[in-house]
Amino acid sequence: MPVRIITDSTADLPKELIEKYDIGVAPLMVNFQDGTYRDGVDLTPGEFYSKLKESKQMPTTSQVNPPAFIDLYKQELEKGNSIVSIHLSSKGSGTYQSAISAKNTLGSDNIEVIDSLGYSMGMGLIAVEGANMAQQGASLDEVRDRMLHMRDRMKYVFGVDTLEYLKKGGRLSPVKATIATVMNIKPILHILDGEIDVMDKVRGRKKVLSRLLEEVEKTGGNIEEQTLALVHSECPEDAGKMKEMLKERFGPKDVLISQIGCVIGTHVGPGTIAVFYMM
Name the strand (E) or helix (H) holding 156: strand 154-159
CA angle 142, 122, 10 (to 5 degrees): 105
| For residue 226, pLDDT beyond 80 | yes
pLDDT number for residue 185: 84
| Domain stop point among 98, 133, 152 | 152
Length of the chain equals: 279
| For residue 168, pLDDT beyond 80 | no
Pairing relation of β-strands 60-62 and 35-38? unpaired
Its sign, for the CA torsion 93, 97, 99, 101, is: negative
**CB-based contact 164:267 (threshold 8 Å):** no
CB burial readout 49-65, b (16+ within 10 A) else e: bebbeeeeeebebbbbe
Whether 110 and 161 map to the same domain: the answer is no
For residue 241, how many other CB atoms are within 10 A of its CB? 14
For residue 88, how many other CB atoms are within 10 A of its CB? 28
**CB-based contact 192:89 (threshold 8 Å):** no
Q: 132: which residues sit within 8 A by CB, 6+ positions away?
A: 21
To the nearest whole number, what is the mean pLDDT of the chain? 94
Name the strand (E) or helix (H) holding 85: strand 82-87
CATH number, domain at 194? 3.30.1180.10
User: What is the number of structural domains in the chain?
Assistant: 2
DSSP state of 171: S
CA angle 44, 49, 55 (to 5 degrees): 120
Whether 93 and 198 map to the same domain: the answer is no
| Domain stop point among 124, 152, 180 | 152
For residue 73, how many other CB atoms are within 10 A of its CB? 25
Whether 8 and 135 map to the same domain: the answer is yes
Determine the structural domain holding residue 202 and report its residue range. 154-278
pLDDT higher for 42 or 165? 42
How many percent of the chain have pLDDT more than 70? 94
67 three-class SS: helix
pLDDT number for residue 171: 53
Whether 145 and 237 map to the same domain: the answer is no
Q: In whole angstroms, what is the distance from residue 211 CA to residue 158 CA?
A: 10
Residue 77 backbone phi and psi in degrees, to 5: -65, -40
Whether 69 and 182 map to the same domain: the answer is no
| Domain stop point among 152, 170, 191 | 152
Q: What is the pLDDT of residues 234-267, one digit of tens each?
A: 999 999 999 999 999 999 999 999 999 999 999 9
225 three-class SS: helix
Identify the CA nearest to 255 among candidates 268, 233, 273.
273
277 three-class SS: strand
Q: In whole angstroms, what is the distance from residue 269 CA to residue 60 CA?
A: 12
Alpha helices in the chain (DSSP H): 15-20, 45-54, 66-78, 95-106, 120-135, 140-153, 164-168, 174-177, 206-219, 236-250, 262-268
Whether 124 and 193 map to the same domain: the answer is no
The confidence band for 222, taking pLDDT boundaries of 50, 70 and 90, is very high
Q: In whole angstroms, what is the distance from residue 265 CA to residue 49 CA?
A: 8
Report the pLDDT averaged over residues 93-102: 99
pTM of the predicted structure, to 2 decimals: 0.94
Q: What is the pLDDT of residues 10-68, one digit of tens each?
A: 999 999 999 999 999 999 999 999 999 999 999 999 999 999 999 989 999 999 999 99
Identify the CA nearest to 264 among candidates 149, 158, 179.
158
